[in-house]
Amino acid sequence: MGTDVTYVEKPPHVDPVRMRHITDEALLAELGVTSVAQARPWRRRDPVWPRPRPEDVAEADRLVGTEVDFLDKGHGRSRLYGFHYLRWMMPLVSAYAQTGDPRYAREWDRFFRQWYAGRDLVEGDWPGLDVVWYSLGVASRSMHVTRALAVFGTEPALSDACWLEMTKTVVGGARWAAEEHDEFRHGNWQFATVCELLHVARVFADLPESGQWAEVARARILEHLERDVREDGGHHERSPGYHGMCLGGVQRAASVDPDLVAHPRFRAMHDWLASLTTSGGWVPHLQDSGVVWPAEMMRTGEELLGEPVVPVKGSHALEDSAYTIFRSGTLHTVINHGPYIGHELEPHSHHAALDFVSSGWGVPLAWEAGGPPSYDDPGYYDWFQATRGHNTLLVPGEDYAEDRRAARDLFHAGEHVDVFAGHHHGYRARHDRRIVFVRTEPSYWLITDEIDAEAIWLIHGTSPWVEHGPGHASSQGPGLLVVPAQPPDEVTFGSGPARMPDPATATAPYGEIHSLGLRRRDGRFTVAVFPFQDVPPEVQVSPPAIRVDGVTDTFTAHGWARDGLAEHWGGR
């Protein structure tokens, strides 16, 4: 599979009328029973559920008695679709599983029957894309409703009418998905949908149609593992969040079809997440991703694989996904040198290349905008996706080309020093960047950039920048000290929203990141970036020598030396 696949998914072509109007009698006949009472003891046939969370009880209590307008476009153009996934109702299921309190089942019944009665009336604002009958809507609701069917199965507070409507929703969705996805299409929509289709086919194995559902689903899943997952295990959209969504789908499918576990890409998808996981336990929010906390997914994967998933030690490259990773102790850096990737509706790639993020001591150090709270967010295009929200060069007044032809020219993982060099053509002039990571303590990064244009060298920290000696430092530690070798023509500051991972709670609420910009008319930059836990180190930056905490390093075009230690790397 090429690394620069682009595509446009065709709009849904299956008429959903037949799926919308399954009669109660026909459903019971297909289930092989004559009454709802006979059908309701049905239990889900696989063990992989999200584990109940204690905090779900409080969230369920907040839902009790609330009124919801399922037709309200005030949810937002994109959020309206997500609202109809019904994930927001799942705390009721989790709370019932933990407490057995029937009021949670009654509230689910009330919400779901209201949704079912009005689902044909919902109108969205994405042209040609039905809010209810589209791939992710069908798949996501099925995941949630099948769990609710299992948990509430024999609870009298859930009415027979609701049970029938829930079951018809799952069966009708499976019919739609099997017809809609009769051929391969790139992207997370189809991948996630056919994984859920296989799950439903195995759970409802007694239905006459289940064999055909399983045949379609398994064929598509195998195609996605071969054509939509890169050899290094990364989903081709290069977004950890969407990778996790697809991996979760494959895990769900493998829980009912264990043969999928033997596919080498199944294991590789877990290894990919492990490679990107920081010492704080999260995966950075690269591209349109949220911050990913992979621990639960890794536990599920290890249960299915029957063995632990162990991350690669030290620095290494995810060749096919075009991410290079520096890792030493608590410090972790990810460098992006990949292509802009298309998508079914809107691309999840950002307008940046040779950008990087770093973390240490369990917190972000050099951070970036990441994915938005919603694709309806007013800052989606001019902050979250934009070049200025990333740690790279910004050329003022130039639009960033999608066909950026980014490439890595050098990767050296040495005994003391790691080196990345790469280039891209996102601007009219070629941008070259080299990042040297001095792994031997005191550790730091030396970043060199060249472009034949006036440019701003950008880095974003998690606290405001203050002047410190020859450069600028984060006002709070852990943080960074940024020291340019040549004085900039201008120093600029800014800020914007970004998710901030909190290892104590495994959450990432939105906070503010602070940008430091170094403008130079000649487009030439040499900048040393020093991490610190409490207070900035004392440094002198005068290449070829850099002095930090009493230690002097000497750099050449292809080498580094310190106190009798030396290392060389190739390259131009």
Query: What is the tens place of the pLDDT at every residue in 284-304?
Result: 999 999 999 999 999 999 999
Tell me if 512 sits within 8 A of 452, measured CB to CB.
no
Q: What is the pLDDT, as a whole number, of residue 10?
A: 41
Q: pTM of the full predicted structure?
A: 0.92
Look up tokens 């070629």; give the residue. 430
Query: What is the tens place of the pLDDT at every residue in 134-176?
Result: 899 999 999 999 999 989 988 999 999 999 999 999 999 999 9
Q: Is 238 helix (H, G, I), strand (E, B) or coil?
A: coil
Q: What is the pLDDT, as a whole number, of residue 99?
A: 94
Q: pLDDT averaged over consecutive 10-residue blocks of the chain (572 residues)?
A: 34 54 85 87 55 87 95 88 94 94 97 94 86 92 93 93 94 92 91 96 90 96 96 95 95 94 97 95 95 95 94 90 95 95 77 97 96 89 95 94 92 96 96 97 97 98 96 97 97 97 93 98 98 95 93 94 92 59
Tokens of 94: 């989790």
> Domain extents for the chain?
22-180, 186-312, 316-538
Q: Which residues are 317's β-sheet partners?
A: 324
Tokens of 187: 């992207």
Tokens of 169: 């929703």
**Helix (H) or strand (E) segment spanning residue 474:** strand 471-474
Q: What separation in angstroms does the CA of 445 have from each of 167, 451, 520, 529?
A: 56, 20, 20, 5
Per CATH, is 316-538 categorized as 2.70.98.70?
yes
Report the C-alpha gap between 87 and 147 in whole angstroms: 11
What is the separation, in whole angstroms, between the first and last Cα of the chain? Answer: 29
Positive or negative torsion for Cα 35, 38, 41, 43:
negative
DSSP string across 149-168: HHHHTT-TTS-HHHHHHHHH
Residue 279 burial (C-beta neighbours within 10 Å; 0-12, 13-18, 19+): middle
The values of phi and psi at residue 84, to 5°, are: -85, 5
**Helix (H) or strand (E) segment spanning residue 546:** strand 545-548
**Helix (H) or strand (E) segment spanning residue 326:** strand 323-328
Tokens of 148: 């609710």
